[in-house]
Structure 1
Amino acid sequence: MKTLEQWFEEYAVSHQNPKNKAIHYICVPAIYFSIVGLLMSIPSDFIFSKFQLNAPIIENWAAVVLLFVLFFYIRLSITMAFKIAFFSAICLIVNYYISQFFPLWIFSIGVFIIAWIGQFYGHNIEGKKPSFLKDLQFLLIGPAWVVENIFSKK
């Protein structure tokens, strides 16, 4: 199993151009955020009504999927898992409030499409294919790489 650092080294190979990196710092979190929103949009009353927690921020498919996503990060780094958990919580909360004023699935699809266009534009500038075409796990490495690069003291 690769370490988080090995994943980052491999991911960084196709993310050297400063413009591509800047695009990724915006688009990768936006894609993650939009996926959380899309998952929150899936009706879940028939499952979660049994629990009666009255906590719509966690009674949805996004919260369930994010628990499994966190297991991926825990295997790589407890510290990174905490960082991603914090970001995930922000995504859940903000998406919940967006859903109070606007159809969340429409908003999420719009963000998703725009962010992917940005990603492919960035890779066009870079001249290299997106890493996830080599290994789908890079779809989860991308958010960690962004968190690490934005908040590291390197």
Structure 2
Amino acid sequence: MRRIDELLTNYSNDHQNPANQRMHLVCVPLIVWSVTAMLWCIPVPESLLKPGFWFAFALFFTWMYYWKLSKPLALGSLAGFLVFGFINYALAARFGIDGLLKIAIGVFVVAWIGQFIGHKWEGKRPSFFTDLVYLMVGPLWTLSKLYKKTGIAI
């Protein structure tokens, strides 16, 4: 069995309740976006780079890990990362870096509350309590659900 199949199967085993699955399909992308937005807000010396450097740096290494696991899922995550970058850029332009950071923190907290509510419904602990790698697998699991609905192989 491929590593990605094993990870997705294990993650799915902790997410059988349909209400918890729906909660994750909403909250996981919100958490990923909020993390990208917080990375966007990390200050960088203006003479070196522009805002968003840490966003690009971290997402590159995340994407490389995803590429190793599944090229189709990595390509889908890249598209999502690009969309998140445009959203971050637009929100930072509209509200400033401090505004973007406040929005991201708020979304992060609310989305994690949603995740824990979903796991309360599920009656199981979140997967990352077993292994932190599942923090990286959650977004791929969400994307794999979309792929299955559209007939894209992972």
Task: Report the CA distance between 1:50 and its aligned residue.
Answer: 3.5
Q: Does 1:98 align with 2:91?
A: yes
Which deviates further from its counterpart, 104-113 or 93-102? 93-102
Provide the residue aligned with 2:79 in structure 1.
86
Give the TM-score of the pair, scaled to structure 1. Answer: 0.89
Question: Higher helix fraction: Structure 1 or Structure 2?
Answer: 2
Give the TM-score of the pair, scaled to structure 2. Answer: 0.89
Structure 1: state its 5+ residue gaps: none
Q: Give the % identical residues.
A: 37
- Runs of 4+ residues deviating >4 angstroms: none
Provide the residue aligned with 1:73 in structure 2.
66
Q: Does 1:5 align with 2:5?
A: yes
Q: Does 1:148 align with 2:144?
A: yes
CA distance in 1, matches of 2:44, 2:59: 15
Task: Report the CA distance between 1:101 and its aligned residue.
Answer: 1.7
Aligned length: 147
CA distance in 2, matches of 1:142, 1:75: 16
Provide the residue aligned with 1:20 in structure 2.
20
CA distance in 1, matches of 2:8, 2:147: 14
Q: Matched residue of 2:15: which SS?
A: coil
Give CA-to-partner distance per residue, 1:77-122, whole Å, 9 cap, x none.
Answer: 1111111111011111101101112211100000000000000000
